[in-house]
Structures are given as structure tokens and as C-alpha cells.
């Protein structure tokens, strides 16, 4: 344990830190250090594209220096937290870089969060300033801040980005306050760089603490596995307020010198056109983005010949989607990838088309980290190839949660983090995720993983999307309830689901015993299905029927 300059107590092992630095797993540099080196070598290189606007290293560095000085002049000091609830705009790159120059902690807030989440996270993160848009996607963020501010224990400054108004601080006004003589303290690479909150689908959201070194370790994994160079171009539609977007839009451009093309509102056709025009080589994003690109490419015949990889994760990825992407984009090695906010991408996907089937049927190759499979209840190791709970340890692992009590049951022996997922290891180096530990359906004493059944039913011609959860059952304790979105013009019923599953040899106890046809599934900001909401809905349906 160690007291960080931010005031948080972090999990710390000095011996491990020395080893990771000696091995090169921790670069012991901040993105401000990288940016300074790039400024000296390639100042005019275009590093960020915000829709149609290009930004060079020189422009980003100069604006970040001004912003860092302005923030220091407003009384912010190393270890203080600043928040931003912004879309994929170039300003987020500047804010993140300025924070490293000033030694500040950044706190990204997903744009879909509203009063309750924003109020809680601002208070819990000890934020002193927040950057928000005026309006975005027809939502008034300044009005929300007027409602939220009176509920905060301590006052917070609000900076309005791309908004004309007088009530709050304007982004340009803040930049204009900067004085060249204001010194920039920089940051210790071991210090907390970011606090990012989990989605909170099972209760209060938890603040995940990452250092400069732990985040850069994730980028190193991409660099070594994919052979990235400064000549490569990445496309990022993932929200920069999610760990994936933050890593690949806010950090990777400086770590490797890769140009990143950002898109703030997801439009598959525009995304496809931008990727073609900018000769994009790679993308790391959630399922919804791969689905959109594949469908649009099939309509237009676009093959994106420069695309080498698409690492897909964050939400359930149907194996057939990866196979279809490989057919549509013939030079690309698409694959599933696995990680969490706490341990970003413990796997690296696959890095060649020769491994396409492993990219579709597994969740990627374990890379620059360790993963073990243990019994979900006892924590004992399970035989090789058998299913159990996934625990992981890696250089990119976080420094613990902001609240000490959240760390209590989060780690196993030897510092391995409990990922909360079930899975198995294939060929000693690939992970197959079979479901969430908390999503297990315990039917008559037997554990049933919903993901196994969902993966089968995803291939049914009448099913567009599906989620299976536990529901109460008077005889077996729990049973499976399937929430299904039918394909347009198609219908589906329970007997057909049963027939389809039995045809492929599914055990009877795994077949859903209830079907609810729905128009949409509740999701988090990165597309994960909110199964806690569906479990509650299934419970209510059963209880309502029992009360009749």
C-alpha cells in the first residue's frame, strides 16, 4: 500500500514496480514526456483527425501547455482531479495531455451519464473542474450542471467546450488566461493518472485507479503484438470516456506516434468512408462498430484494403461476426479481445489471418500478462481446459479502487484480479470466455452459462439479438429466460427455440423455459447488455403471474 499524491491509497509492490521497469513493461514516462520528444523530432506530423480537422504534434502540444498553465493558475496542483464529459473531440486529447503536464488526475465521464451518475462520480472522484459541451446530441449539459452543482459538497468549476455562453468558463477563455511564465510541474509516472468508473450494473460504481505506467503498459502490448509503427493509422469511434477510447485516442498517438482518426457520432457509412480515405490500418472497438462496418461494407462492396486488424470486445462478440468480417475485409485479421477497465485487454486477439478461426472461436491470445482458471466458489485451480473463474495479473493492471472497501474481495492470492468472468484456456495461450460469474443460472444444482446458449441462438435466422438470464422457478430454483429481438419481418417462439437447440445437441436443462420478445435490450455505454435489469424484469414477470 502507498499514499499517492492524489490522496488515494493505492496497491503498491515496490519490488514488482522495479521489475516491470527493468523489463521495459513500464516505460516510466508520461505522455507529456513522449509528446515533448515528438515535438523535437516530428512537430508537423498530423497526429489527430477530428472528423475533417487535422491537428499536428506542434498544435496539440502548444494548446496543452496553455491549458496546463491556465489550470495551475486557477489553483490546481499535482494530484487534483479534473473531469471531462465530452464526445470524441480533439479537445479531449489536449485535456489529457495538459493533465500530464500539470500532474493532474483525469476523470472521464461517459456522455450518456445524467444527473445522478454525474453527481455521484464528481463527488467520489474529488473533482475540482469539469469540461462539458454546451449541447451534444440534443442534450443540454450546462443545464444538467446547473442542477448537479448545488448537490455537491464542494464547489466545482465548469468549463464549456464549443459553447457560446457567459455563465460558465469558456474553453477559449480559459486558454487565454495562460501565462508563459507559469511553470509546469509534470507528473511521476507511478502516480495516479486516471480514475474511471465501472458501469455500476450491480450497484454503486467503483472508481478504478490507473497510473501513467499501467496505462502505457496496455499500449505496449498492442505495439509488440501487432508490430505497430508511426506509419500506421488508427480509427477510433469508441467513446474516449471509456477505457478503450481513452487508450487509443488519448494515449496511443503519443506513445507510438500513430495518427488517430476520431469520430464523435457513430455513422457506419461515414466511418467506412473515413477509414478508406485515411487508409486506416487498425481499430479497437466494441461489437456495435464492427457490426455496422460489416453491414455497410456488404451494401457498398467496400473492402478496406489497408485494414490489417480489428480487435473487437467490450460486449458479446458472436463468432460468426468475426468470420463474416474476415470475408468482407480480405486483408484484415479480425478477432475477439478480452479485458476490463481494471485490467485492459489481458488478451491481444490474433495478429495474422492464419489464426482467423482462433480469432472467432476464442477471446484472444494471452499477451504480456498471466491468466489462471480457478473454481468459482473455492478458488482452487481447475484441470487444464476446464471452465472456471478467470483471474489475471498484468503490467496494465490497475492500482486498486478509490474506495478501500472495494478492494477487499477483488483479488486472489499473488495479486491476481478476479475478472468476474467464467472461461477456460485453450492451447495453453488462448482464453475462451463462457460467461459472467454473476450471470450463472443455477438450475436444480447445476451451473448453466447463458453465453453458451446465446452463441448458438445468435445463428438462428429469425434472431437479431438475444440475452438469457436467470428467472425464479418453483421446482428447479432457477431457469433460463430468453429476451429476443427478432429480425425484421421474422417471428420466433419458444417451441422453435427448443427445436433449434435440440437439433444441435443441447442438453434439455440448458434450454430456455421462457421467451420474451422485445424491441431492444438495455445496454451500458459500450454496448454491454444490462442483465441485472433483465433479471429483475424476469423476476417481476414470474411474480406477477404467481400472484394472479
Query: What residues form DSSP beta bridges with 448?
Result: 441
Average confidence (pLDDT) over 11-37: 97
| pLDDT, average across residues 93-112 | 97
Distance CA 31, CA 20 (A): 18
Residue 378 within a domain: yes
Structural domain containing residue 178:
2-211
| Residue count of the chain | 548
State whether 196 and 329 are in the same domain: no
Write the CATH number for 468: 3.30.300.30
pLDDT tens-digit map of 337-372: 999 999 998 999 999 999 999 999 999 999 999 999
pLDDT class for 332, splitting at 50, 70, 90? very high
Predicted confidence band at 494 (pLDDT cuts at 50, 70, 90)?
A: very high
Asked whether residue 3 carries a pLDDT value surpassing 60, the answer given is: yes
Is 530 part of a structural domain of the chain? yes
Domain edge (last residue) among 168, 194, 211: 211
Is 299 domain-assigned?
yes
- For residue 199, name the pLDDT band (cuts at 50, 70, 90): low
The string over 424-448, giving b where at least 16 C-beta atoms fall within 10 Å of a residue's C-beta and e elsewhere, is bbbeeebbbbbbbbebbbebeeeeb
- Kindly tell me if the per-residue pLDDT of 449 is higher than 90: no
Yes or no: say if 45 and 56 are a contact pair by the CB < 8 Å rule.
yes
pLDDT interval class at 314 (50, 70, 90): confident
In a domain, 375, yes or no: yes
Q: How many CB atoms lie within 10 A of CB 256?
A: 17
Same structural domain, 432 and 532: no
Total domains, the chain = 3
Q: Are residues 172 and 184 in the same domain?
A: yes
| Rg, C-alpha atoms of the chain | 24
Residues 428 and 474 in one domain: no
Could you tell me if 427 and 516 lie in one domain? no
Complete DSSP assignment for 95-107: HHHHHHHHTPEEE
Torsion of CA 157, 160, 166, 167, to 10 degrees: -40
What is the C-alpha separation between 127 and 101, in angstroms, rounded? 18
Strand partners, 5: none
Mean pLDDT of all residues in the chain? 94
Would residue 146 count as lying in a domain? Answer: yes
pLDDT at 495 over 90: yes
Q: Which three cell numbers stand for residue 402?
A: 478509490
Reported as a single tens digit per residue, the pLDDT across 263-305 is: 999 999 999 999 999 999 999 998 889 999 999 999 999 999 9
Q: Would you say residue 237 lies in a domain?
A: no
Residue 76: all three cell numbers together: 490546481
Do 204 and 294 lie in a common domain?
no
Q: What is the pLDDT of residues 126-158, one digit of tens each?
A: 999 999 999 999 999 999 999 999 999 999 999
Identify the CATH number of the domain in which residue 428 sits: 3.40.50.12780
* Grid coordinates of 435: 460467461
Give the pLDDT confidence score for residue 311 in this predicted structure. Answer: 97
Coil, strand or helix at 509 = helix
Domain end residue (candidates: 164, 181, 211): 211
Residues 286 and 201 in one domain: no
Q: Quick one: pLDDT at residue 145?
A: 97
Do 101 and 31 share a domain, yes or no?
A: yes
| Domain assignment of residue 241, yes or no | no
User: What pLDDT was estimated at residue 201?
Assistant: 46
Q: Kindly state whether residues 60 and 147 are assigned to the same domain.
A: yes
Residue 47: which H helix or E strand, with range? strand 46-50
492 and 414, same structural domain?
no
- Model confidence band, residue 255 (pLDDT cutoffs 50, 70, 90): very high
- Is residue 238 situated within a structural domain? no
d(Cα 25, Cα 294) in Å, to the nearest integer? Answer: 35
Residues 285 and 198 in one domain: no
357 and 460 belong to one structural domain: no
From 190, 211, 232, the end of a domain falls on 211
Amino acid at each position: 500500500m502507498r499514499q499517492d499524491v492524489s490522496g488515494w491509497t493505492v496497491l503498491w509492490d515496490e519490488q514488482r514496480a522495479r521489475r516491470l521497469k527493468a523489463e521495459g513493461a513500464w516505460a516510466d514516462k508520461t505522455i507529456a514526456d513522449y509528446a515533448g520528444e515528438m515535438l523535437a523530432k516530428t512537430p508537423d506530423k498530423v497526429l489527430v483527425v477530428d472528423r475533417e480537422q487535422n491537428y499536428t504534434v506542434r498544435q496539440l502540444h502548444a494548446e496543452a501547455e496553455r491549458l496546463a498553465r491556465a489550470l495551475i493558475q486557477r489553483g490546481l496542483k499535482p494530484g487534483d482531479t479534473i473531469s471531462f464529459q465530452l464526445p470524441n473531440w480533439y479537445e479531449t486529447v489536449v485535456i489529457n495531455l495538459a493533465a500530464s503536464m500539470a500532474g493532474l488526475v483525469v476523470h472521464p465521464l461517459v456522455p450518456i451519464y445524467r444527473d445522478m451518475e454525474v453527481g455521484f462520480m464528481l463527488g467520489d472522484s474529488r473533482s475540482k473542474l469539469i469540461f462539458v459541451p454546451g449541447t451534444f446530441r440534443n442534450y443540454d449539459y450546462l443545464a444538467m450542471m446547473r442542477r448537479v452543482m448545488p448537490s455537491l459538497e464542494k464547489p466545482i468549476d465548469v468549463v464549456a467546450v464549443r459553447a457560446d455562453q457567459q455563465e460558465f468558463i469558456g474553453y477559449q477563455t480559459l486558454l487565454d488566461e495562460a501565462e508563459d511564465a507559469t511553470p509546469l510541474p509534470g507528473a511521476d509516472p507511478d502516480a495516479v493518472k486516471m480514475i474511471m468508473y465501472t458501469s455500476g450494473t450491480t450497484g454503486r460504481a467503483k472508481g478504478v485507479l490507473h497510473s501513467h505506467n499501467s496505462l502505457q503498459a496496455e499500449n505496449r502490448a498492442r505495439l509488440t503484438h501487432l508490430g505497430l509503427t508511426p506509419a500506421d493509422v488508427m480509427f477510433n469511434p469508441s467513446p474516449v470516456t471509456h477505457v478503450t477510447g481513452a487508450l487509443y485516442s488519448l494515449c496511443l498517438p503519443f506513445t507510438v506516434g500513430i495518427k488517430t482518426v476520431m469520430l464523435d457520432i457513430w455513422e457506419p457509412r461515414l466511418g467506412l468512408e473515413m477509414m478508406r480515405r485515411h487508409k486506416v490500418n487498425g481499430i479497437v472497438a466494441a461489437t456495435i462498430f464492427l457490426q455496422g462496418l460489416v453491414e455497410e461494407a456488404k451494401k457498398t462492396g467496400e473492402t478496406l484494403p489497408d485494414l490489417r486488424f480489428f480487435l473487437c470486445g467490450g460486449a458479446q462478440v458472436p463468432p460468426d461476426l468475426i468470420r463474416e468480417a474476415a470475408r468482407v475485409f480480405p486483408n484484415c485479421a479480425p478477432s475477439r479481445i478480452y479485458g476490463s477497465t481494471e485490467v485492459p485487454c489481458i488478451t491481444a486477439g490474433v495478429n495474422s489471418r492464419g489464426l482467423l478461426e482462433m480469432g472467432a472461436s476464442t477471446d484472444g491470445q494471452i499477451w504480456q500478462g498471466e491468466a489462471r482458471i480457478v473454481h468459482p466458489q473455492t478458488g482452487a485451480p481447475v484441470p487444464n481446459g476446464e471452465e472456471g473463474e478467470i483471474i489475471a495479473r498484468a503490467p496494465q493492471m490497475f492500482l486498486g479502487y478509490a474506495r478501500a472497501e472495494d478492494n477487499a474481495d477483488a483479488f486472489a492470492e499473488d495479486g491476481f484480479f478476479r475478472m468476474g468472468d467464467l472461461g477456460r484456456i485453450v492451447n495453453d495461450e488462448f482464453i475462451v470466455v463462457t460467461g459472467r460469474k454473476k450471470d450463472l443460472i443455477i438450475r436444480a444444482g447445476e451451473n448453466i452459462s447463458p453465453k453458451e446458449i446465446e452463441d448458438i441462438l445468435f445463428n438462428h435466422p429469425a434472431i437479431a439479438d438475444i440475452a438469457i438470464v436467470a428467472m425464479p422457478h418453483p421446482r428447479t430454483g432457477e431457469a433460463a429466460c430468453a429476451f429476443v429481438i427478432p429480425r425484421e419481418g421474422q417471428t420466433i417462439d419458444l417451441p422453435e427455440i427448443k427445436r433449434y437447440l435440440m437439433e444441435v445437441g443441447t442438453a434439455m436443462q440448458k434450454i430456455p423455459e421462457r421467451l420474451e420478445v422485445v424491441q431492444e435490450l438495455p445496454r451500458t455505454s459500450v454496448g454491454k447488455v444490462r442483465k441485472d435489469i433483465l433479471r429483475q424484469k424476469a423476476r417481476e414477470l414470474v411474480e406477477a403471474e404467481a400472484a394472479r
